[in-house]
Structure 1
Amino acid sequence: MENINFKVYTSISNLPENWNAIAASNHFLQTPYLEVLENSAPTNMECFYIGIFENNILVGTLLSQYLDLNKLESFGERDSFFKKHVRNFIFKNFASHVLFLGNNMITGQNAYALSKEIEHKHLSQLLIDCSDALILYFKNKGIKIHIVSFKDFYENNATLFKKHHFKNLYEFNAQPNMIFNLNENWTSKEDYVAAFTKKYRDQYKRAHKKYNGIIEKELSLEDVVSLENRINELYHYVAKNAPFNTFFLADNHFSTFKKQCGNRFKIFGYFLDNKLVGFHTLLLNGEVLETYFLGYDDEIQKNNMLYLNMLYNMTEFGIEHNFKKIIFGRTAIEIKSSIGAEPVYMSGFILHTNSFLNKYIGKIFQNLEPNLEWNQRHPFK
């Protein structure tokens, strides 16, 4: 570790010139996306970009996010009155200042990218050192960080981290990341539909019949700008009715994303009688298709099975454009399994900076994370 150190940056303009080359494996750590965060992050979020150096040569990039949950209008409205208020009380009093090592806005292992292998023994120490530096940064500003979360690691990495400096941290497994590993023999939606059992082929046909009258269109930057108020309205409906939220996107987020990332960021609008009634977004991340935020009119969603049709459309886009897998994230996991996605459990590690409360972090976390019971579907022959 004596030859490895790090530097924290608060502005994209100060990053080393070769930052994108080091972060080449992950679009979510490259400057076009980081500029989206810098220019349109949620109002309760502050982002930090951390360079990892070996002998003063950049060998890694890392993203960290601070969330002030006191600024949040809602943590989610779907849960029961009692559970919602218990959770809100815990957050406001014991967990309102949260530091993430990783990206809290998306699901997946997106915390860091490395140009060379660093042993997990050293990497786990480095992540903790970075969190300590940011805790001190906020302390000097008069802000006490309550919770630190090291976010989203696949099982092999989590196991290795636990052997070293994460061994005393509380490991949590939230709802699974729904991932669709696409069949390499599929080249069209017809191949996809043909692989369904009769039950799920009938579901596909029923959804498309209900879809009648809705027109799907890929939106240009000009379209996104002109429709942004309506896009935000549809997004907020879905976000507020999610079981749990720690942020809401800025009003200019989608247009900023489209402007910064161009054709690597896709936004599709759904129109009924020339009115936007829904949208979904995709990010092209190498051989991986990442689903992003969406929104819809609830009445149209119910009457036209709009959400299910969106999932089919995302899948067909992935097949037709030769992606190897689609990352569908953690929401609506049962319906996602019905179109072919499978659960992949990921680990996070968490600590409370109050040593007494940290002893009970497991019980506290259980009150923050909504319970979920679901049945995995198996749609293929």
Structure 2
Amino acid sequence: MDNNTFKIYTTTDLLPENWNEVAIENEFLQKNYLSVLEKSAPVNMQCFYIGIFEKNELIGVALAQFLDLNKLTSFGERDKCLKTTIRNFIFRNFASHVLFIGNNMITGQNGYSFSKEMDFACISKIMNDCANELKDYFAKQGKKIHIVSFKDFYEKCAKELKKHEFKNYHEFNIQPNMIFNLQNRWKSFDEYINSFTKKYRDQYKRARKKFDSVIVKELTITDVESENDRIYNLYYHVAKNAPFNTFFLSKNHFETFKKQCDNRFKIYGYYFENKLVGFHTILVNGKVLETYFLGYDETVQKDKMLYLNMLYNMTQFGIENNFEKILFGRTAMEIKSSIGAEPIYMSGFIYHTNKLINKYIDKLFDRLEPKVAWQQRHPFK
């Protein structure tokens, strides 16, 4: 552990040449994706890229993000109630400067990657030291970090991290990551559909019947450039109607992503009466298919069951291209479970830099975090 050091970079141009070799297991830590963040991060986000060294050898990479919630005009407009008003007031006044060690834009354990086996005492110390250095960095700029959060760890990792530097931090679990482990016995999409119970085969048939007049096509970079405003407006409609948001993507985000990652990042457009009414995105991450942001016209979505059909289409792509699993992320858990995804709970760790507030962070967090009631569906025979 004593031989390990780290360096924090503010631009991808300065990253070590062998960065991708260390980050090879995770597309979300490779230079192309980090360049997407650098060129098209949300307006209230600043990203930092962390190189971890053993002596002079790069052995680990990590990501950190600073969010200034004061720059948001809205945290989400779906829920309008007293609790939401109180929550927004508290966030603006006591939690507006948030430091994430990890990636707040996606769900999953995407915060760090190492090229060698590392013990959790070392990992937790490095992440904690990085957070402290970034707090000092912002303090010198006259900005006080209110909240530090270490984001998204699967159960085994969270359990180990709690034994070390994270033992005094509040562990939280929010909405689960909906993960679909694709079964080897499904050699085709038809075999997947035939494994449904009658209720869910009927759901599939009903959705496809309503969807019949919608045309789906994979968008080229030229298509994305020409449809950029429409794509963003469809995304923004969905995002602002979420129960809670800490960021909104920049208007050039999807175009930048497509240019940087090319065929590994796919955007599918949904057209009705020659008009783009929806889109979904996926990222190829080794044998894992990562779903990303989507958007749709609410009026067409209801009539054509766009969202459910998007889930079927992503599943079909995963099966036909031999992926092992699809990560559907958080939100809309019930409908995602109806096509086969299962909830995997992940932990995060959080603390407030004000000692008095931090003393009650567990109670505050539990009261302010939006709760979602949902019923898991079991679609297979």
TM-score of the superposition, structure 1-length normalised?
A: 0.99
Instruction: Output aligned runs, 1:241-320, within 5 Å.
Output: 241-320=241-320
Q: Deviations over 1:110-129 (max 9, x none)?
A: 00000011110111111100
User: Could you tell me how far apart the structure 2 residues matched to 1:271 and 1:187 are?
Assistant: 29
User: Could you tell me how far apart the structure 2 residues matched to 1:17 and 1:209 are?
Assistant: 51
Shift of 1:53: 0.5
User: Could you tell me how far apart the structure 1 residues matched to 2:135 and 2:364 are?
Assistant: 21
Shift of 1:364: 1.8
- 2:70 matches 1:107: no
- The residue aligned with 1:343 is 343
CA contact (8 A) 1:23 1:113 kept: yes
Note the residue ranges of structure 2 that are not aligned, 5 or more in a row. Answer: none
Q: Where does structure 1 differ by over 2 angstroms across 4 or more consecutive aligned residues? A: none
- The residue aligned with 2:36 is 36
- The residue aligned with 1:229 is 229
Alignment coverage as a number of residue pairs: 381
- The residue aligned with 1:182 is 182
Task: Give the letter aligned to residue 151 of structure 1.
Answer: K
Q: Deviations over 1:116-167 (max 9, x none)?
A: 1111011111110000000000000000000000000000000000111111
- 2:141 matches 1:116: no
User: Could you tell me how far apart the structure 2 residues matched to 1:112 and 1:150 are?
Assistant: 11
Computed over aligned residues only, the root mean square deviation of the Cα atoms, in angstroms, reads 0.7
Shift of 1:187: 2.0
User: Could you tell me how far apart the structure 1 residues matched to 2:260 and 2:319 are?
Assistant: 25
Q: Deviations over 1:73-97 (max 9, x none)?
A: 2111112321221111110111000
- The residue aligned with 2:130 is 130
Instruction: Output aligned runs, 1:92-171, within 5 Å.
Output: 92-171=92-171
Q: Secondary structure at the match of 1:193?
A: helix
TM-score of the superposition, structure 2-length normalised?
A: 0.99
Task: Give the letter aligned to residue 126 of structure 2.
Answer: L
Task: Give the letter aligned to residue 363 of structure 2.
Answer: K
- The residue aligned with 2:66 is 66
User: Could you tell me how far apart the structure 2 residues matched to 1:312 and 1:165 are?
Assistant: 42
CA contact (8 A) 1:77 1:84 kept: no
User: Could you tell me how far apart the structure 2 residues matched to 1:375 and 1:337 are?
Assistant: 9
Identity of counterpart residues, as a percentage?
67
Shift of 1:366: 2.0
Shift of 1:367: 3.5
CA contact (8 A) 2:83 2:368 kept: no
Shift of 1:184: 1.1
User: Could you tell me how far apart the structure 2 residues matched to 1:129 and 1:322 are?
Assistant: 40
User: Could you tell me how far apart the structure 2 residues matched to 1:18 and 1:110 are?
Assistant: 19
CA contact (8 A) 2:69 2:96 kept: yes
- 2:6 matches 1:17: no
Note the residue ranges of structure 1 that are not aligned, 5 or more in a row. Answer: none
Q: Deviations over 1:283-304 (max 9, x none)?
A: 0000000000000000000111
Shift of 1:40: 0.2
Instruction: Output aligned runs, 1:325-336, within 5 Å.
Output: 325-336=325-336
User: Could you tell me how far apart the structure 2 residues matched to 1:122 and 1:266 are?
Assistant: 37
- The residue aligned with 1:8 is 8
Shift of 1:362: 1.1
